[in-house]
Amino acid sequence: MKTAVVAGALGVIGRYVAERLAQLPDWRVVGLSRRLGEERERVRHVSVDLLDPADAGRKLRGLQDATHVFYCAFQPAAGAAADYARNVAANRDMLVNAVSAVDAVAPGLERVVLVTGTKYYGSHLGPFRTPAKEDDPRHLGPNYYFDQIDWLSAFQRGKRWSGCELRPQTLCGFAPGTAMSIVPVIAVYAAVSKALGLPLRFPGKPGAWRSVYQVTESAHMANAALWAATEPRCANQAYNITNGDTFRWCNLWPRIAEVFEMPWAEPQTISLVAHMADKAPLWDEMIRKHGLRPYRFEELVAWPFGDYVFGCDWDVISSVTKSRLHGFHDVVDSEEMFVRLLERFRAERIVP
């Protein structure tokens, strides 16, 4: 049996990793998060504050059987995505505290899989070299990914285990209550627009409407994480992980409107943060009217994340050639994925 420690086990990546491993007969899963998750066969959860090294050391000292760490945790900071200086220390320290605690007690540790992202290339700052490749130079300025990578590389040197870094782009999953996904942004924005009698307008910049974009489905990411944890060629390597295709919002938007049975119209650039600031009472009314599951408005969506994604008026493309050469060949049709996930949000009464 292999034992996976999944940090951030209730997030838009970690919960999919935990679910994927729990389906396999030779894996046990220990999920780490601030909140306690639902326990089931071969999956248990530990409530821990990874920002507190003493709490991490105390809560994780029983993980002597750990063979793999999947680090999917994230500590957001208020403000724009480009302002990474404010959350460098927290995200570095959580990784340090988690991996150090497991390394200290688990003699059979084999691999640590670290999830970062394409902001490594400066995809959040403006146009960058595309398709981005794993050996491209880092961008200027602070980025907590760099601090995490540098610490893990230095800490791993001379150890019995290896590391692997995965760089997805804009995670898409069905994870109600987890805000850092673009799918609930679209679902709730569409539902609110429909309730107000408005057509579905793309809220981003005109350039973003036609630029080439890419995403990573959470289930696809979980498959990649399993591959990265067990493939010998992945030792101390970095890989871009996307669905393997690209799209333009202008081609996808009419299909999204069809899911919600509403007309669409030409883009109108707005701030979703500002536009949605007063919509919580309307959402409560929609829950009562349509019999929706009672998620609080602020639980469902991170509107700054929506403004960031829809504000990228430059091409966002990563090369996945390296992962394919090393054995990961899964692909996802991104347009079909959006339709499937948005239909699920409706079918399960998250949105009307």
Give the mean pLDDT of the chain. 94
List pLDDT tens digits, range 55-85. Answer: 999 999 999 999 999 999 988 765 555 455 6
pLDDT at 37: 76
List pLDDT tens digits, range 175-222. Answer: 776 667 899 999 999 999 999 999 999 999 999 999 999 999 999 999
pLDDT at 34: 87
The residues, any chain, with a CB within 8 Å of residue 55's CB and separated by 6 or more, are 48, 49
pLDDT at 82: 47
Domains and CATH numbers, the chain: 2-171+216-241 (3.40.50.720), 175-214+246-316+332-347 (no CATH)
> The tokens 């999204």 sit on which residue?
256
d(CA 331, CA 49): 35
Task: Find, among 42, 54, 47, the residue nearest to 18 by Cα.
Answer: 42
Q: Are 32 and 98 in contact (CB under 8 A)?
A: yes
Q: Regarding beta strands 200-201 and 27-33, do their DSSP bridges make them parallel or antiparallel, or are they unpaired? A: unpaired
d(CA 136, CA 296): 41
Residue 64 phi, psi dihedral angles, 5° rounding: -65, -25
67, amino acid identity: T
d(CA 206, CA 202): 9
List pLDDT tens digits, range 221-231. Answer: 999 999 999 99
Residue 321 parent element (H or E):
helix 321-325
Query: What three-state secondary structure class fits 49?
Result: coil
Residue 256 phi, psi dihedral angles, 5° rounding: -65, -40
d(CA 104, CA 69): 13
Q: What is the value of pTM for the model shown? A: 0.94
- Per-position b or e across 287-300, b if 16+ CB within 10 A of its CB: beeeebeebebeeb
Q: Regarding beta strands 2-7 and 43-47, do their DSSP bridges make them parallel or antiparallel, or are they unpaired? A: unpaired
The CB-based long-range contact list for 332-337 (8 Å cut-off, 24+ gap) reads: 332/217, 332/220, 332/243, 332/244, 332/245, 333/243, 333/245, 334/214, 334/215, 334/217, 334/243, 334/245, 334/246, 334/247, 334/252, 335/247, 335/251, 335/252, 335/255, 337/172, 337/215, 337/217, 337/243
Q: Are 271 and 200 in contact (CB under 8 A)?
A: no
Residue 81 phi, psi dihedral angles, 5° rounding: -60, -30
d(CA 300, CA 296): 7
- Residues of the chain with confidence (pLDDT) below 70: 77-86, 177-179
Between helices 182-195 and 280-290, what is the axis angle to 10°? 80
The residues, any chain, with a CB within 8 Å of residue 198's CB and separated by 6 or more, are none
pLDDT at 86: 67
